[in-house]
Structures are given as C-alpha cells and as structure tokens.
Structure 1
C-alpha cells in the first residue's frame, strides 16, 4: 500500500536519514522516501504485516509528526444569494460540519467558494443540498467564461428592474404618507383627514410590489433565523417586517374605527428601506463588477476563430476545433489564436496584454508566440503547442481567478466578528427597544410619540443600520482589484495570503544566474601568453569546445560562431570532470581547463597574474595549453542584467535588505555582488542547500522573499515566506512560486512589493471604516444621543446609510486601479 504523509519537525538531512533508516529496517515496509524540501514521506508498506499505527508510532516516538495527505477534491462553486459577511460566515461555519468536508473558502466579492472534500465520504450534490437548506444556491464552475459575464449582465438588469419596482411604489407610498404634512396635494379619496381607511389601504396595496421585489429578505432571512443562523437578510426581514406588521395592525384598528392610527402607520419606512437597500445592492454589484475587470479584459482577448492550414488550403475554424500540432496562419493585425512556435514568416508581436511590456517583440522562425497577443505587419505560420486550458492566457486567467477568490489572513478578523455580529445586533435591538418602551411608558423619559411607536422606531433603526456588508467586502474587493492590477502589470499574485505576506517582507534573496545575471555566459577576455594571435586561440578553443556540454564551453563556441570561424576537426576528444577538456587539432594536443588540469598535465604555469585580476572582476578564467605549453587565457562571465543595480537601489530605498544566493565561487560572487550593490553575498551553495540558507535567514527572525527562475530554485521558493519566480510566459505554471513576474526582469520585484503594501493599506482602511461605521451607527440607532439632542435616527436614513457604507468600501478598493510606482 503506497501512501503520502506530511511530516513535521523534520529540520535537516540527518532527520531524513534517521526516518528512512528506521522505516527501512521495519518489517512490512517495502520502501520509504523523505523529501526534506516539501517535508513529505512516500511510503510503501504491507498492512497485513505492519499496521499503519505501528510504524507511525515509531516516528512519533522519535519526535516527528505524521499526517496522511488524502487525495481531496477541490471544486470552485458559484454561490447565489449572499448579501453580507454573515452569509459568508454562515456557509463557512455550517458546510465544514458535514462529514467529509475539509473546508470551504467563500469570497463575498466574487460570490464564489472553493470547497475541499473527500469524495469517498460525501458527494458534491449533498454539499449543494445543505447549502440550499441554508438559503443559498451553489453550482459547480470549471472556469470563468464570457457566457458567465453575459449571465451576470442579465442578473444585474433583473436587479435594476426590481429596484425600479421598489423605488416607484416606495416613492408613491412616501408621497401619500408624508405629502400632506408639508402641504403637498393629496386626493381627498386617500387623504387621512377625510378617508383614513383608504389612506391605509392604498399604502398596503402599493406595499405588495415592494415586498415582492424584496421577497428574498423574508424567504431566506426568516428561514435562517428559524434555524438559529441569522444573517443580514434576517435583520432586514425583522426590521421591515416589524414595520409592516405594525402598520397592518394599525390598518385593522382603523377599519374598526380607531382613526388615530392613521398617524401611526409605518408602511413608508418599510418600503423605502427595501428600496434604498436594493439601490445599495445594485450599486454594489456594479462596483464589484469593476473590481473583476482584469479577468474580463483577459477573457475578451481570447480568439474565437483561427485560420487553419490544411493541405495547402486555408480554412477558418472555431478556436475549439484547433488541436496541438495544427498549422495556423496569423494575418497582420490579428490576434494569435493559440500558443505555438513560428515555423515561417517574420513579424513583431504585441504581448503587452500578457506581460505588461509595451514594446512589440520581433518573432522569427523557432520562436514562441502566445495566444491573444497581437500580430504586427507580417504574416506568420505557427505550429500549435498548447490549446484551451493549457495556453498561457488560460493559465493567467486561472491564477488571477484563484487569487481573487482566495482569502487573506487579515480577513479572519472580519470572519470572527461577523460570526457573533448578527445575533448580538438582534439582542441589542430588542433590549434597546424594550428599554425605551419601559422608560416612555413609565414617564421616566419624555418621548414625542406613543411608547410603542418610539420603541418600534428604535428596533427598526438598529436592525437596519447594523448590516455587516461593508465588513465582508472590505478585504475581498481590495484583493480583487489589487491582483487584477498586478495582472495588468505582468505581476501574477497567486493568493491573498501571498499578497499579505509580501507587505511584511524585510529581506529579498536573489538567485544569481538568470535572475541578477543573464544566465548566458559570454567570452569577455582572450589573453595571449605566447606568440599566437587572439583569433587563432579562439578558433582552436571553440573547435575543441564544440564537443563539450559545459556552459562555459558553449560560451566559447558561441563567440567562435559570432566571429564566423569554420571549426577545425578534433580527434581523441576527452572530458575530465571538474577540470577541463582536451583533444588533437591539426596534430596539436590542445587542452582547455582550470589550473589543476594544467598542473596534472605537466604544463608549467608562469606569468599568469591575470588569473587573480579576472577572478576579482567576477570572471571565470580558463587556461589553454598547446603541445605542453601554456598559450593563453579565455575568460568567461555571466553578464549582469542592465536593470539589476537599479532594482537593488530601489529595494534599498524601500528599506529592504538584499541578499544574493549562488553556487559560484566566492570571488566571482562577491565581484557581482559589489557591482550590483548587494548587502549579503552567500556563495558556493548547491541548489539542494539553497532552501536551507533561506531557512537559516528565517531562523534569524527575517521575513524572506526568494527570487529565482522557478525551476532549480523551487525548494527555496517554497521555503521562503514569499516565492517570486522570474520566468516570463514560457513557464507560467510555476507551482513553487507565490508571485510570478511575466517579464523576464527583476525590475518588477519592488513593484510587486509596492502593490502588496498599497493593497494591504487599502484593506486596513476599509476595515477601519467598516468597524467605525457599525461602532458609531448602532449606538446612534439605539437612541444613545436622544436625551441630549432630542432626535432619533430615522429608519429610512439608517437604511440609506447602510446601503452607502458598502458602496463606499468598494469605491475605496477601486482606487487601487490607479496604482502607480513611486520609484
């Protein structure tokens, strides 16, 4: 039986050896392999010989934690019917109680949820059924499509129509109930002074369409209240419901002859509150739609058609029909239908929508192109290498979707508060209402209305103003806009967690090769130590290195090609690991390698002071010997990228410490570090040990971000607090990194840090105003200032303020769309 387990307390290679040794000596265990970087154990054991509990006990006795990693399913759901953070809390509280459900992460701003469950224990249909019982409708979504955007537009139109229904009839009721008080003309047939019953009945009739438009508050809110899981809908249903029921009672009393009740009707408060909340929700949805514009823009870039070349004929087909290996023609000005490789033609491609780089890139045969990028003036024939979900654009959309649907740790505060918020508000509303009724009834406080009307006003105001909508939207909207803006800039932030962690970073660790440097060694110096000319040494050296696979040898070959040399024939080629290469060229024995190689080959070394000078400059010198005599030095170096020094300078201005991690020798590493302005240089580190260096820095209390190419640096990227991959679109699916920089430049590292800081600042602003709003609004609605000012908070004003609070939070988050770097 093969299984995978997560280990804890595994700190070094000796731990790995100890665990593997103990398990290998355990009867019934066929094999056991520990991965230190991921802290996982792959084990194959026979349960008939040894029980799982027995070998786990052996490891726990040694001080290690062992937990099975189950093959859980993750499904993205579209959840309809959520209105506030209490809805989110309700789902996140009740769904994980189902046996087999590990977790559900709900995002109010995107109205989505990611549920993780064990399909062997529970089915998705059972989860959706439970969700429906709670008052919400969930459906599985594979990925966001253009059809979903159209569906959202239809729902938005429906919401507008219902708001229009509520505002028209609500306005009529408001005019009828309040117009006569300020001298506005009211037909005698419905004037309360002449026909109080008609006055009440017309308001009751006009209230029905408004109640219908806001029916969800009652069908869902009261249902949730009955189940002991109240939400914002419950607050609105209680508040407006109390107003309607009281007014209905007043209408009945008028019917019996008690005409004084005509001045104690609350129909207008109930309907205007529903209308205002409907308006707030409509404006909120429009604003939330703007927060996801980044994904919408990417979706609109996807081609619908492609020109397929089949048997020398061009056939226009739907993009869904294109398969890997097909040959497509991309005409001037068209968008590239899918990822591929140019096989014929020459043109410039605008890839700004993928990388944020505004300058078009020249494309020749053999170079890669990406779907949705825009072709320039030339025609191209491309061979398709990826379609559908495997294209770079689709992967970007998926990354941004996942990030926008994720939850940052800072949101947990809102989750905890909202879990207790609604029940607490109901208690406060009831207690404050009863208190004022008692005070008014017993004459302790002078009130203008009857005690029951005054108490009802208090009850409705508290219930309506206390909606935690703004609290629930504070974090997800900012994350949506922040990650969307990042995507526009070519910075893909994979989650809200990564976004929040990034703003706490105080140390940036760079891998050297391919990150700070170009990653392509080039010949920098050729020094003749004898009578041979420089070009002759290069021609001989490049001819020999053609047979070598070493990167330094490739640099010499490239230099020879650039000079246009025809390579000489080489006989008896031999490579000596860690030293150099040798062979026979035109009867001459030629050797290229390091000092040790020359000494072992009995070649006398003299007058080579240049070796130290070259090493100090960060160059790698290779000695060349011909027929037993030292003839020259060829120096190779990996050139520093143009923007490396600028980037390090900016990071220093931001107050960050910069570290360089490399496997290069100390002299070379320090030379490059000095050139760029690095604070700490850690050299001669193997790829396997890079993550241990990250761990060591973290052990010193530093918050570390690791910047690498996402391939051989993956253990270090995973170990770092934030892993940043610089790879461009060629390797977008870098699972090990938290942030992916689409441009092949580190210049966007400080930009990513800035964006993180701005987004977290925005979240904190949103949370501050959300808490302040509720913190001040509830006491005001409860009549705290009435003894001083003599005024109560009108329920309609409370409803309007509640609606505007959500809009203000979303509007503040939208400011991130205008984010720009300070540097």
Structure 2
C-alpha cells in the first residue's frame, strides 16, 4: 500500500466501501419500501443437516409472499423479500416454527440497532410511544428491547438518555447476531448430549459389566435400563419425531431425522417387547438391547455436537465483524475524555486512538500522526502512514502515535459491517455445483430406506434358509443389520461439501483484500481463460497529470469556461484537468447544465455557445494539427471545443500500477490470454500495452461501452482450445475495470472484477471487489477459487467413499467385518468431520 505523499494517489478503502453501501443497500431498501415489500433476514436455530435446509427452503417457497429466497445451512440463515401486503414477518416466523420446529429470530437490517434494558416489561415498552427517529422496537426478553433507529435523526446516546418515560440502560454486549443462533444451537445440542451420556452410561454398565448376581437381578437391572432408555428416547430423541413428521407432511422431505426415528424406535420398541417377555418369565434368546438404542442416540448426539461446534468455529474464525472493538475513548467538547461503549457513537463525535489499539470506526484524523496496520481488511502487509486529514478504517490497528479522529461513519454502518455484508451475501449464494449436491442429498434418504428394506429381507431369508435360525432369531438379526444401515449412512457430508468450503473461502479471500460477491465466481475463477483489462485506473493508477497543454484562443476565457464545464466531473481525466487549471489560479465560469456523456466526455452550454470537452474521436479532432503531436508522444489527448472548434488541448500521462507488469506476466505464464479495452487514445493505450508485452491483436482503443460489451461477447462465443491437451471448452472471461463506462462489460463478462477506487455503478455490476488498489488481487481470486474447488472435489469423493463402504460394512457384505448397531451412531461424526476440516484448513493454505 502506498504511504506518505503517495497515499493521496488512491481512493481510500473507507470511501470505496461507503459508495458500495449507498449503491447496494440503501437503493435496494428504497425500492422495496416503495413497492410494499421488505427485505427480511432470519436467524434459524435447529438446522443440523442438508435435509433441514431443504425443509426450510421448501416451507418458505410455499408462501406466495416470499420471493428471492436464499438459505444457508452453515450460517443458519434465511434471507428473502417479503410482500408485507400479503403477510407480516411475524406471520412468516410463526408458520416456520409451527411447520419445521426451528426457532427463528429476525436480524435487523433497518437502520442502526441497540439492545436496551428497560425498567418495566419489554412488551409494554414496545407497545408504547416511540421517540423520534425510532423505526421499530421488538422485545428480546422480559426486560430487554431491540430498538432500530435512524442514526441521522437521533444519536445512540441521545436515544438511551432521553425520550423514554422510564430510564433505559444499554444492554450487555451480545455476540454478532449472525453468529448468535449458531452459538445457541451448539449450546443446546451440547446440553442434550451431556444428558444423553449421563443416562446412557448406567445402561452400558448394567449391560456389559460383569456385575455380581447379574442373572438373579436381571429383571431389576432390565427395569432400570428400561427407565433410563425411555428417558433418552423421550427427552433426547423425542424432538426428532415432530421434526421428521412435519418435514414429511409439510415439506415432503425425507430427512436424516426420519432415519434416526426409524432406527432408534425399532431398537427401543424391540427391547421393550423383549422386556415384556422377560417379566413373564419367557425371555427371548437375544435378550433386550436397551444399550443399542441409548448408545445409538448418544453417539448421534455426540456427532451432531462436534459437527455443529466445528461449523460454528469455522464461521466465527472468518467473521469480519469480530474486528469491531467494543469500547473507546470519546473526546468531549470541553476537551475532557470519557471511555464509552462504541455502540453509543453518534455523528459529530471525536475519539482518541492510543498506540496498539484498534480503530473503533471510520473517521478522519484531526491531529496526530501514526502508522496504521490495515492488513486485516485490505491484505496489505505494510503499515500506512496517517496524519491530519487522512482517512482511518474501522478494525485497523494503530501502531505508534496517538490519533484524534472525527467520526465519519457509525459502527453499525462502517467498513467492517459493509464488507461483512458483502461477504455474507456471497455465503448465501450457491454455485451451480451445489445443485448437484442438493440433488444427491434429496434422493439419498429414500435410497437408504429402500436399501434398508432390501437388507432386512435378505438377512431374514439367510437367517431362516441358510443359518437355520428360528423366525424370531432371524428377525432380530435382520433388524440389527437394518438399524445399522439406517444410521451409518449420512447425507450431511454431501450437503456440507460445498457450503462449508464457500464460507471459509470467502473469509480467507476477504482477509487478503478480495471480496467475492457471488459463490459462482469462486466456482469458475480458477478456469479463467481470458482476462480483459480497462486501462485508466486499472492497469494504470488512474491519477492522471497534465504533461503539456495548449490554449488556442486565450482571449475568450477558454480556461475559465473549461473549468466550469469539467469541475464537477469525477472522471480521472476531468479531475486531472481541473486540478491543473486550479493550480494556475483559474476561476470557473458558471456553465448551465453540464452533462457527462459516458465514454466520451462532458458537454454544456454558455451564452448560446455549445461547449464540449473529451476525447478527440468524439469531437472529431483526431487529425487536427494541434492534437496530432500530443497523440504521437503517447499522451492521452483531452480536447475542448467551442461550437465545434478546438479551443484547447491537453496531453495527460498516467503511471502503471506497481504490480501491473508482474501480474500480466504471471497470467500469460498460465496460458491466460490478456486483453486491453480502453476508451483512451490509441497512442496512450499502445504505449502502455507495449510495456506489458500484450499482443496488439488483443488491444482495442477508443472503445465505447457498447464496443467493450461486443468484444467480450465475441470472446465468450469462441471455443477455448488452449492447454496441453487442447481440450475444447467454453471460455471463462474475466473483465477488470473501475469506471461507469465499464459497468456493461463487467456485467457481460463471466466474472466482473471491480478495482478499488471505482464508481458505484461499476461495483453493483461486479462479482469480485478488490479492497486494495492492486492487480495481484486477481491472482489471489484465482488461487482461492482453485484451492476451494480442490477441497470441494475432496469432499464429494470422501462422501461417496464413506457412504459406500459404511453401508457395505453395516449390511454385512464383508464376512469377517461389520459395524455393530450400537456404534453406528458414530457415522455422522466420521463422515462430517473430514468435510469440515477440509474447509477449515483453507485458512492455512498458502495463497
């Protein structure tokens, strides 16, 4: 990252993220509000496997009020657009909880949010009068309310201190709401697992231990085992029954819970029947096996607890919101200082940052100088020098000096929360390969049930005809094999194969300054065949400077008219000319209705004269005697015409990005074709591409947005035959740009990459956002994609191999080896942990 004076040569990350927030979130919310629709995010507690996600998705899709649905098993989350004219959010939550047995909680996405402890009952506060600026109040528990408010209308401290009939206090800091449901689920599963273990151990002791007088006390021991096994079946395994039945009835999903219900119930019911025979002094030859049903449930719970804990730790480990500090030093108006909770920040605040402390939120330095470590957000390892006027980013670390900073964005709306929202957006999207996993998982359980019936019938026939056993003995043997097959097979590994990797991969990429906005980009980036660059602001730094200028008619106030025309334009060329003219002391003439013409320039009018400023091709001045020398020297020509006559010409130059040469070279080493499409003059474009050794056949200058789109369409329509095997395939085209005129090309390409410092429109069309001004982010994106797909391939392979051999072992296909039914519950643990580990290990893979 650039430091010192060079730091001014880039748009800061904080400015970039602010633009993303405006474009992606606020505009969408406005549109939804106008249409009577609302964007809803629900935190779901109780999801354990891919069947749960299928059940959740199908249940929500049955509601006509729900559209644009996205769900995530790993994040325990559902996101959708709700037509509030048809159904309320509370109505959706009640329907979900009734039909799925999940617990649902809405995550706020409306303004800022605070949890407050009230003197009275929370329900009474939520129904009372709301202070100005409050959007919504919801009861969290009996004493706590969650208040959503507009921070531009009322500040957080003002909201807590004023406007309430009774005193309110800030509630203790809670965990990230997006992680809270997962944490609660892990705790609940942990408690139920512990209870199951406590109840199961005595059953195992009574069954397996060489106890004295065991035969004489058999009925007494069996009675104790019956009581304990019943408690396990009712309390621990009991919740599986309504979940399985409701999934079958309401969502038409046969999920893993149904397998658990069938197998544990079979083992328990048979043991109860055997106990009845024992009490009547007609014991069955096989006896009871309460230890089978209890150990089965316990091992399933242990597997689910460890898998849930591993998933939760994986999500927490890449949670960007965890970079948010909880307290800071507020500088009061009189100069005094006070330590406050960062949730109480409000616009206009000034805060102090001591050495080795995190920046609490985005702001502008008022005084002091220091070096800031921004690596956790941008991936840039070198500290950045900050002084008066510099922007600082939430979550970065102040290394040396003391800084006094004026807040520019409150914690709930700063860089950390915005990047986290973009990363979460990617986690909720599903790559095309996920459809394969979902399809397999959908048919998995019915297939296993069918196999179970077949195994039961085969062993029943073998027991009677081959092994010459009695009917009851053969039935019992068949049941044990069937139970084992039901439990040992596990679709969870298949369901987690893709999302577990996607969740970790998006976090790993964001730590290196690359934000994937869709999972599709992760899936295909490693297969990129062509990379197309814009020039200005992408291959070059985008900070143009005027190298030479000529005013053909100074007497008519040419420079003043030109400054008035271009001073409000944000295009890099206009900015460079504006800076140059202002440095000469030129005062702008007021121009009526100046208008940007995308890909061409700016036009306006003054006292009946038509003013135009832009590239020479648009103005038809390419062959003008004053323009030709500028173009021949490889400068970007910026022309100003009054009524079609050239009034001034400027030659601008730009510097290559530091890593442009190495990035292009590495792409070419990988047999990836590099192209350049630019709206700039031909001489300037050729000068840059010659330095980068890009073939002239892959270079186009003076391109309009439509021409860029057409060029990319042409690349996509060809067949890629590169590579050692000359295998034909559909090309994957990555376009990298930063300007408004690049938005169409970004959307047209297979993968659109937005460079740090660009415009809102470009960001909204991009699939990948580079958080630091470095082209190396493209290589990082490809590397993350390649490693992720390798992990996904491993996960699929492991899931197939495990289930194949586990089912064969459970079914008794091998003469001298089988899985005892009481240990079949370990199947979920054995199958899921490698999948979770494969995802988590991405964090330590060298990218």
- State the TM-score, normalized to the length of structure 1: 0.76
Rounded to whole Å, the distance in 2 between the matches of 1:623 and 1:469 is: 64
- CA deviations on 1:710-762 (whole Å, 9 max, x unpaired) are 54422222222211111169979932211111111111111111101211221
Q: CA deviation at 1:433?
A: 1.0
Kindly tell me the number of residue pairs found equivalent between the two proteins. 701
Query: Which residue is 2:315 aligned to?
Result: 292
Query: Which residue is 2:101 aligned to?
Result: 135
Report the CA distance shift for 1:203/1:595 in structure 2 as closer, same or farther (over 3 A).
Answer: closer
Q: 276-285 or 356-365: which moved more?
A: 356-365
User: Is 1:820 aligned to 2:840, yes or no?
Assistant: no
Query: Which residue is 1:210 aligned to?
Result: 232
Q: CA deviation at 1:109?
A: 1.4
- Secondary structure of 2:764's counterpart equals coil
Query: Which residue is 1:808 aligned to?
Result: 834
Query: Which residue is 1:178 aligned to?
Result: 208
Map residues 362-441 of structure 1 onto 2, 5 A cutoff. Answer: 362-441=385-464
Q: 651-660 or 513-522: which moved more?
A: 651-660
- CA deviations on 1:230-281 (whole Å, 9 max, x unpaired) are 32111111101100100000000000001344x4322111111211111111
Query: Which residue is 1:685 aligned to?
Result: 703
Query: Which residue is 2:344 aligned to?
Result: 321
Query: Which residue is 1:799 aligned to?
Result: 825
User: Is 1:726 aligned to 2:768, yes or no?
Assistant: no
Rounded to whole Å, the distance in 1 between the matches of 2:232 and 2:638 is: 85
- CA deviations on 1:690-712 (whole Å, 9 max, x unpaired) are 33433333233532211112544
Map residues 434-513 of structure 1 onto 2, 5 A cutoff. Answer: 434-443=457-466, 450-513=473-536
Q: Kindly indicate whether the alpha-carbon contact (under 8 Å) linking 1:512 and 1:661 is maintained by their aligned counterparts in 2.
A: yes
Gapped runs of 5+ residues in structure 2? Answer: 1-23, 25-33, 114-173, 551-557, 603-612, 641-647, 719-729
Map residues 528-543 of structure 1 onto 2, 5 A cutoff. Answer: none
The one of 807, 811, 820 equivalent to 1:782 is 811
- CA deviations on 1:167-209 (whole Å, 9 max, x unpaired) are 3432332233233xxxxx3132xx1x33331232222133244
Q: CA deviation at 1:462?
A: 1.4
Report the CA distance shift for 1:451/1:666 in structure 2 as closer, same or farther (over 3 A).
Answer: same
Q: Kindly indicate whether the alpha-carbon contact (under 8 Å) linking 1:728 and 1:741 is maintained by their aligned counterparts in 2.
A: no
Gapped runs of 5+ residues in structure 1? Answer: 1-37, 39-68, 180-184, 528-540, 581-591, 625-631
If asked which structure has higher relative contact order (CA below 8 Å, sep 6+), I would say 2
Q: CA deviation at 1:284?
A: 0.9
Q: CA deviation at 1:282?
A: 1.5
Report the CA distance shift for 1:101/1:593 in structure 2 as closer, same or farther (over 3 A).
Answer: closer
Query: Which residue is 1:696 aligned to?
Result: 714
- State the TM-score, normalized to the length of structure 2: 0.74
Q: CA deviation at 1:84?
A: 1.3
> Once superposed, what is the RMSD of the aligned Cα atoms?
4.1
Report the CA distance shift for 1:773/1:441 in structure 2 as closer, same or farther (over 3 A).
Answer: same
Report the CA distance shift for 1:309/1:334 in structure 2 as closer, same or farther (over 3 A).
Answer: farther
The one of 101, 111, 115 equivalent to 2:76 is 111
- Secondary structure of 1:713's counterpart equals helix
Report the CA distance shift for 1:73/1:674 in structure 2 as closer, same or farther (over 3 A).
Answer: same
- CA deviations on 1:73-107 (whole Å, 9 max, x unpaired) are 43222222222112222222333122333353321
Q: CA deviation at 1:355?
A: 0.8
- Secondary structure of 1:310's counterpart equals coil
Report the CA distance shift for 1:807/1:726 in structure 2 as closer, same or farther (over 3 A).
Answer: same
The one of 52, 55, 72 equivalent to 1:90 is 55
Rounded to whole Å, the distance in 2 between the matches of 1:361 and 1:791 is: 63
Rounded to whole Å, the distance in 2 between the matches of 1:219 and 1:281 is: 18
Q: CA deviation at 1:319?
A: 2.5
Query: Which residue is 2:384 aligned to?
Result: 361
Q: Kindly indicate whether the alpha-carbon contact (under 8 Å) linking 2:36 and 2:85 is maintained by their aligned counterparts in 1.
A: no
Q: CA deviation at 1:142?
A: 2.6
Q: 147-156 or 653-662: which moved more?
A: 147-156
Map residues 240-251 of structure 1 onto 2, 5 A cutoff. Answer: 240-251=264-275
- CA deviations on 1:114-170 (whole Å, 9 max, x unpaired) are 233433223333332332223322222237962545665454344333323323432
| Greater C-alpha radius of gyration | 1
Q: Kindly indicate whether the alpha-carbon contact (under 8 Å) linking 2:54 and 2:253 is maintained by their aligned counterparts in 1.
A: no
Report the CA distance shift for 1:683/1:248 in structure 2 as closer, same or farther (over 3 A).
Answer: same
Q: CA deviation at 1:559?
A: 8.1
The one of 235, 239, 242 equivalent to 2:263 is 239
Report the CA distance shift for 1:658/1:595 in structure 2 as closer, same or farther (over 3 A).
Answer: closer
Rounded to whole Å, the distance in 2 between the matches of 1:735 and 1:360 is: 30
Query: Which residue is 1:335 aligned to?
Result: 358
